[in-house]
Structure formats: C-alpha cells, structure tokens
Structure 1
Amino acid sequence: MTVQAHGTQIGLKPRFLVVMGVSGTGKTTIATGLATRLGWHFQEGDALHPPANVRKMSTGQPLTDADRAPWLALCHDWLSAQVEAGHGAVLTCSALKRSYREQLRGAGLPIEFVHIDTSPAKLADRLQRREGHFMPASLLPSQLATLEVPGDDEPVIRVSGEKHPDVVLEELIRHFQAED
C-alpha cells in the first residue's frame, strides 16, 4: 500500500523514517499513524517484496540475505526518491541487520530508524491472531535470531511495542517536536 500525502499537518520539518522490527511489532500501525498524522508519504515495505520472496515466506521458509537484497534495493530506491522530492516519508521494513540498514541509508540518505521493540511473547500472540498476512507465525524465531538490535551509533529512535499504538504515536510526535 502506498499513501501519498503532501505537507505536514502539525508543522514538523520533513523526516525520512524507516519503522523497523520483526514481524508483529506493529510497524504498519505505527507507520500509517505517523504518515496520516504528519501528512507524509507512506510505503508498506512488504508490498515491495518480489513475488518469489512472498511465496517463500508463505511456505514458512525464512529469507536469506540474497533473497532480501532486491527487496532492500527497492526500499532504498523508494526512500531515495522521497529524499529527492523533499517531503516527509515513512517506510515499513524489518531492517533486521545492520548491513540492511546501511543499504537503506546508502549514499548518505538522511534516514532515521524507529525500532519497535516488543517481547517475544507479545509478538507470538499477535502473529497467532493476525489474519491476511503472508508471513506465518512459525517464522518469528528466525526473525528474532536474525535481528541485530540497532547500536547507539545508528540513527535510531527506540519505542516500546508493548504500549498502545496511540501512546507510541504521541511519544514519537513529541520526540520530533522537541528536535525541531
């Protein structure tokens, strides 16, 4: 899903965000909430996966670095176009490894990551109840094993996926307002 929205509804300078984390953290909920509240463009990263990746995950097979490479390139290209256009943008992307995050930021893009940290128990519960998504709950352990939590030297904002999404959105907006 792509949402095109122009302007900033609450007066924040444009930012280029990747809402990241393993499956079930609430990336889409938080990202669409930010895009809507801030009037920024939104891209669901899962929609950029090549069909072969979707088929693989649908059958319970984890993706490899080689599988993810073309997807990450498409995510980077979308982010690059948003930076070039100069309007705020939000992309969902698991961005599990530092190398993936570096690829997304390639060529010095001013990308910030919003890492949604959620307990494995809460993730498992959410994934068991989730409907209509190609990634089965059985892949959660492989995503948790792959996740390299962003380091303090990375441009990351950490939020808790244990809180209600409205609370997380308010925290993020206050954070951005304080930095503007």
Structure 2
Amino acid sequence: MKPLRKVVFSVGSNLGDRLANLQGAVDAIRDTPDVIVVDVSSVYETDPVAMADGSPQFLNIVIVGESTLEPRTLLERAQAIEDAFGRERPEPHASRTLDVDLVMVGNTETTQADLTLPHPRAHERGFVLVPWAEIDPSAELPGHGAIAPLLDTVGGEGVTKRDDLIIEGD
C-alpha cells in the first residue's frame, strides 16, 4: 500500500460566480478517489498578481488533504476540474473562471516541463500563504522551509478575509 502524503491545492477564481467556482472545486477534490480533504481555508479576496490593470479581484482558498495518488495524477485531476468550470488558457496571467494549482505533494521536489513541485511561486504569494497559514500554521514548503517566516517576508497586503463567504462542507 502506498503511504498517504500531504497535498496542498491553491484555488482561485476571478470570473463568473467566483464563490460557486471555488465550491465546485472543493466538491470535485472531495469526490476524487484516494484524496482525503483534511481542511479548507476561509475565503479570501485578493488583488490580482502579474495581471493587466483593471483585472477583477480573485477569491482564493487553500485546501489541505492527504493522498496516495502520484503528483502527475493530481495535476491531471486539477486541470480536469479547471476544464469542467470553463477554464480557458488564452495567455499566461489571464483572468480565469477557476485556477487549481498543485502547491505540494509530500516532500516531492521535481521540475518537469509541465509539473514543478513545490509550486515554483507559492513561497512568494500572499494569496497562497495567508489561507494556508490559517489552517496549517506549522506547515513547511519543501525546499523553502516553514510557511510562517515565508509569510512574514511576503506579507498579507492585498489579501482580505471574507467572513461573509462560506465554503460548505459535506
């Protein structure tokens, strides 16, 4: 039997019904065989990063889970969920209905053409670190260390908790 490994997803949406898109992603990840959702962060509204001026704000969450699945399988699942919500990829850094990023899978460190783990910019992104620290404050990002000092360096500017928006459990 394969061991369970910690899996972290960062999920965001800045087009359409943003909250429904996030909820759908959480539901789809919960429905994934061999993935156990351990916790889901609060919803945060965030400023777009590396996008054109005037781009709509994002809603973001982080999902922490456990899985026996291989990183490639988890990446394919994340992309299938994006596709199911009408994700288009006209250019990098474009607005999107749904973005499901695989942040880490256990201690896996790999760089391939279409899969880099841990996510190559997670340690620089407040919209990943703030919600992740909320639900897993002692977490560590392979190759970068504990997320708390990473968050201290990056800061949480442009990341606002939205207590009025709730992701429903099962």
Structure richer in helix, relative to its length? 1
Normalized against structure 2, the TM-score is what? 0.33
Structure richer in strand, relative to its length? 2
Normalized against structure 1, the TM-score is what? 0.32
